[in-house]
């Protein structure tokens, strides 16, 4: 089977399993999708973040708490209480830093602040130093999310990030700040939906729908996803058994955050062409990104290959909703 794959502004003919040899490394567009947190946080809408405890340098605990607030605000998943308001109330009530590690105290603080959850933690390691071959920065924290209503710790983790690579000649403090921000990002990604960039493969095809599909790919590569969707939908209407077009509709749906529909399009695409490496990669990525009760991609692929000789259910041809 002959197929064309989009390759960063040019197209290369690929025959059958030659796609495996290419590895698909440059044959992609980048889409922005939403990845859920590792832990499902239920019943928490309003959050407060208190300084992480670090007796050696309390300012470091404040800085990381501020970074966590910034990352949480960027997700838009929670209403996060202003740090200045949190600090003022804690000072008025004379809560010491040592009490921040006690769950009962944290629950009392949460009720006082009028929030559903409180994020607390301790810094275990925080430092940067010079080495013979360069500089090194390392940050390690223990961090918890406490649900105020129940007093339960609903998420906890120990996060360590270190680096020996400076960017743009940054000094040790700048490296340490970057590593601390990575710690904050890792924690927030565990409890909140967040945007990530994903590499996806758009497929070209021949036949009567080739030109329409090609226009869709051009629109997609120029970030005109609405117009791309229109072209792919027209192509799917003309040829509902074209796996490449179904794949491209799936990429559009994923770009728009329509995960369930994207999965449906990918599964129909791979049912039409179970051995297509690019479609397999697209499907595997979305199943890895969007955790849930779905079966693993490998299990689905094996099942589809076994039933490949049976007629596939008709692929969707309508516009992505």
Say if residue 293's pLDDT is above 50: no
pLDDT in tens, 155-207: 999 999 998 876 667 788 888 999 999 999 999 989 987 777 888 999 999 88
Fold of 46-192: Rossmann fold (3.40.50)
Instruction: Give pLDDT, residue 97.
Output: 56
Say if residue 15's pLDDT is above 60: no
317 against 133, higher pLDDT? 133
Delimit the domains of the chain by residue range: 2-34+198-306, 46-192
CA 162 to chain centre: 21
Segment among 63-77, 147-161, 231-245, 283-297 with least mean pLDDT = 283-297
Q: How far apart are CA 104 and CA 12, in angstroms?
A: 63
Say if residue 47's pLDDT is above 70: yes
194 against 245, higher pLDDT? 245
Other C-beta atoms lying within 10 Å of the C-beta of residue 37:
18
Instruction: Give pLDDT, residue 24.
Output: 39
Q: Is 203 helix (H, G, I), strand (E, B) or coil?
A: strand
Segment among 16-20, 70-74, 116-120 with least mean pLDDT = 16-20
**Among the listed residues 225, 44, 53, the one whose alpha carbon sits nearest the alpha carbon of residue 126:** 53
User: Is the full-model pTM beyond 0.85?
Assistant: no
Q: How far apart are CA 181 and CA 175, in angstroms?
A: 10
The answer to whether 190 and 155 are in contact (CB under 8 A) is: yes
pLDDT band of residue 313 (cuts 50, 70, 90) is: very low
> Residues with Cβ < 8 Å from 88, sequence gap 6 or more?
none
CA distances from 240 to 167, 264, 269, 272, 299 (A): 49, 14, 10, 10, 25
**Among the listed residues 161, 142, 162, 164, the one whose alpha carbon sits nearest the alpha carbon of residue 153:** 142
Say if residue 21's pLDDT is above 50: no
22 against 253, higher pLDDT? 253
Segment among 38-52, 112-126, 246-260, 305-319 with least mean pLDDT = 305-319
State mean pLDDT over 284-299: 55
**Among the listed residues 139, 148, 96, the one whose alpha carbon sits nearest the alpha carbon of residue 117:** 148
40 against 308, higher pLDDT? 40
Instruction: Give pLDDT, residue 321.
Output: 39
Up-side HSE of residue 100: CA atoms within 13 Å toward CB? 31
Other C-beta atoms lying within 10 Å of the C-beta of residue 115:
22
Max CA separation in the chain (angstroms) = 75
Say if residue 99's pLDDT is above 90: no
Most confident residue range from 71-85, 239-253, 273-287: 239-253
Instruction: Give pLDDT, residue 27.
Output: 60
Say if residue 1's pLDDT is above 80: no
Which percentage of the chain shows pLDDT scores above 70?
A: 77
Instruction: Give pLDDT, residue 277.
Output: 92
The answer to whether 315 and 273 are in contact (CB under 8 A) is: no
Q: According to CATH, what is the number of the domain 2-34+198-306?
A: 1.25.40.10
pLDDT band of residue 58 (cuts 50, 70, 90) is: very high
Averaged pLDDT score across all residues of the chain: 80
**Among the listed residues 66, 154, 88, the one whose alpha carbon sits nearest the alpha carbon of residue 117:** 154
Instruction: Give pLDDT, residue 95.
Output: 74
Q: How far apart are CA 34 and CA 290, in angstroms?
A: 8
């Amino acid at each position: 089977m002959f197929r064309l794959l989009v390759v960063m502004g040019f197209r290369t003919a690929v025959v059958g399993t030659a796609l495996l040899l290419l590895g698909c490394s440059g044959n992609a567009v980048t889409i922005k999708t939403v990845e859920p947190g590792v832990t499902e946080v239920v019943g928490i809408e309003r959050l407060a973040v208190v300084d992480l405890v670090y007796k050696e340098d309390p300012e470091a605990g404040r800085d990381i708490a501020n970074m966590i607030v910034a990352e949480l605000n960027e997700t838009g998943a929670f209403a996060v209480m202003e740090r200045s308001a949190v600090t003022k109330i804690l000072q008025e009530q004379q809560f010491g830093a040592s009490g921040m590690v006690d769950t009962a105290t944290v629950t009392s603080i949460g009720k006082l602040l009028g929030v559903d959850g409180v994020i607390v933690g301790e810094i275990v390691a925080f430092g940067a130093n010079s080495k013979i071959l360069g500089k090194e920065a390392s940050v390690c924290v223990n961090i918890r999310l406490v649900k105020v209503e129940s007093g339960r710790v609903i998420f906890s983790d120990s996060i360590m990030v270190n680096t020996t690579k400076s960017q743009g000649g940054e000094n040790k403090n700048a490296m340490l700040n970057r590593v601390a921000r990575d710690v904050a990002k890792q924690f927030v990604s565990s409890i909140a939906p967040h945007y990530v960039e994903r590499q996806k493969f758009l497929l070209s095809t021949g036949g009567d729908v080739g030109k329409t599909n090609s226009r869709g790919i051009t629109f997609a590569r120029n970030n005109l996803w609405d117009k791309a969707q229109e072209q792919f939908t027209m192509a799917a209407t003309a040829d509902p058994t074209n796996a490449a077009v179904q794949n491209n509709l799936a990429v559009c749906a994923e770009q728009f955050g329509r995960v369930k529909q994207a999965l449906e399009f990918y599964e129909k695409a791979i049912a039409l062409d179970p051995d297509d490496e690019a479609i397999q990669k697209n499907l595997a990525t979305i199943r890895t990104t969007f955790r849930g009760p779905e079966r693993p991609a490998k299990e689905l692929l094996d099942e589809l290959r076994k039933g490949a000789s049976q007629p596939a259910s008709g692929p969707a041809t309508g516009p992505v909703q």
